[in-house]
Amino acid sequence: MEDKYLVEVQNLQQYFPVSGNKLFQKKVVKAVDNVSFGIKKGETLGLVGESGCGKTTTGRTLLRLHEPTAGKIFFEGKDITKVNMLPYRRKMQIVFQDPYASLDPRMTVGDIIGEAIDIHHMASNKKERQEQIISVLSTVGLNSEHANRYPHEFSGGQRQRVGIARALAVDPQFIVCDEPVSALDVSIQAQVVNMFEQLQEERGLTYLFIAHDLSIVKHISNRIGVMYLGKLVELADSYELTFHSLHPYTKSLISAIPIADPKLSRESKRIVLEGDVPSPVNPPSGCHFRTRCPYADQLCAEKEPEWKEVASNHYAACHHLDKVN
DSSP state letters, 51-99: TTSSHHHHHHHHTTSS--SEEEEEETTEE-SSS--HHHHTTEEEE-S-T
Residue 17 DSSP SS3: strand
Residue 106 resides in a domain? no
Q: Over 90: is that where the pLDDT of 17 sits?
A: no
pLDDT tens digits for range 36-80: 999 999 999 999 988 888 999 999 999 999 999 999 999 999 999
Query: Sorting pLDDT into bands at 50, 70 and 90, what band is 1?
Result: very low
Tell me how far apart the terminal alpha carbons of the chain are, to the nearest angstrom: 32
Q: Over 70: is that where the pLDDT of 22 sits?
A: no
Range of the domain at 59: 5-91+174-183+204-313
Residue 145 resides in a domain? no
State how far the alpha carbon of 126 is from the alpha carbons of 111, 112, 121, 131, 263, in Å. Answer: 12, 15, 12, 9, 60
- Confirm if 175 and 43 have CB atoms less than 8 A apart: no
Residue 325 DSSP SS3: coil
Residue 120 resides in a domain? no
CATH number for the domain including 255?
Answer: 3.40.50.300
Query: Sorting pLDDT into bands at 50, 70 and 90, what band is 27?
Result: confident
- Note the pLDDT of residue 280: 82
- Note the pLDDT of residue 322: 86
pLDDT tens digits for range 70-117: 999 999 999 999 999 989 999 999 999 888 888 999 999 999 999 989
Residue 153 resides in a domain? no
pLDDT tens digits for range 169-179: 999 999 999 99
What is the per-residue burial (b if ≥16 Cβ within 10 Å, else e) of 45-81? Answer: bbbbbeebbbbbbbbbbbbbebebbebbbbbeeeebb
Residue 32 DSSP SS3: strand
Q: How far, in Å, CA of 70 to CA of 275, rounded?
A: 31
Residue 325 resides in a domain? no
pLDDT tens digits for range 115-165: 989 999 988 999 999 999 999 999 998 999 999 999 999 988 899 999 999
Residue 282 resides in a domain? yes
Residue 138 resides in a domain? no
Instruction: Write out the E strands in the chain.
Output: 5-19, 26-40, 44-48, 70-75, 78-79, 92-95, 174-178, 206-210, 223-228, 231-237, 308-311, 314-316
HSE at residue 49, side-chain half, CA atoms within 13 A, is: 26
The C-alpha angle with vertex 115 and arms to 111 and 116, in degrees rounded to 5, equals 135
Backbone φ and ψ for 285, nearest 5 degrees, come out as -70, 165
Whose CA is closest to 181, among 153, 212, 150? 212
Whose CA is closest to 227, among 108, 54, 110, 75? 54
Global pTM reads: 0.91
Instruction: Classify residue 286 as left (phi > 0), alpha (psi -120 to 50) or beta.
Output: left
pLDDT tens digits for range 259-307: 777 777 677 777 777 777 788 888 888 999 999 988 889 999 999 999 9
Residue 248 resides in a domain? yes
Give the count of domains, the chain.
Answer: 1
